[in-house]
Structure 1
């Protein structure tokens, strides 16, 4: 008997996104500084903390016994970084780059399936 069902494809997408993003948060935090809303204090520290959180959530989703905690935690991280994605989209709307606008605005609805995948993994 196994501890849990295999990880679903949508949850695997969360794991992949968190592994890549978490590493970038830690190795190149300056990449995320323009995304930080002004009302968020201690930008660099929050960026580093969110990278650690993403990596911990990714590992938690990969460990069947940790999914009950890692699933909702992953959804919370995704919702927590959403203001940064929204700021990126608003900033993009003021640039002449159509490609940047499309990419920035496309990210907004794409986070919803990731949140759903994280929550499903936690059940």
Structure 2
């Protein structure tokens, strides 16, 4: 499989992932309320805005016209994934503090590892970066 095809397939998987995540943030916001760190103001509104950001980023990443909007979406989704990381960390801490350890390390460790991968994937599938697949001097 070519790098171009791999990038396209992964871009569409990312589009579907963010569309689904946005849908759930918008339709079941109370599910996410418990994992929002206490220092975040207006947590319910933040959940709605994150859902809208996910849907908008997915739509922009999916568009077939000109690379500039896709690149902007890649940067936006990468920044988004970075900004929501504290909620994911908070979710892990809350969950593991439960007597039954909630979803457990088998869920949370891969989830924590996946976050930087999502950041990179947004940038790579949008062609913001070719790292680590480019050779030096190219």
One fold, TM greater than 0.5?
yes
TM-score normalized by the length of structure 2 = 0.78
**What is the count of residue pairs matched by the alignment?**
119
Structure 1: 5+ residue runs without aligned partners?
Answer: none
Aligned to 2:123: 119
Aligned to 2:11: 11
Aligned to 1:48: 48
Q: Is the 8 A contact 2:61 2:73 kept in 1?
A: yes
Q: CA RMSD in A?
A: 1.7
Structure 2: 5+ residue runs without aligned partners?
Answer: 128-138
Q: Deviations over 1:38-91 (max 9, x none)?
A: 010000100000000000000111014321110000101111111110001111
Q: Is the 8 A contact 1:10 1:113 kept in 2?
A: no
Larger RCO of the pair (alpha carbons < 8 Å, separation 6+): 1
Larger Rg: 2
TM-score normalized by the length of structure 1 = 0.87
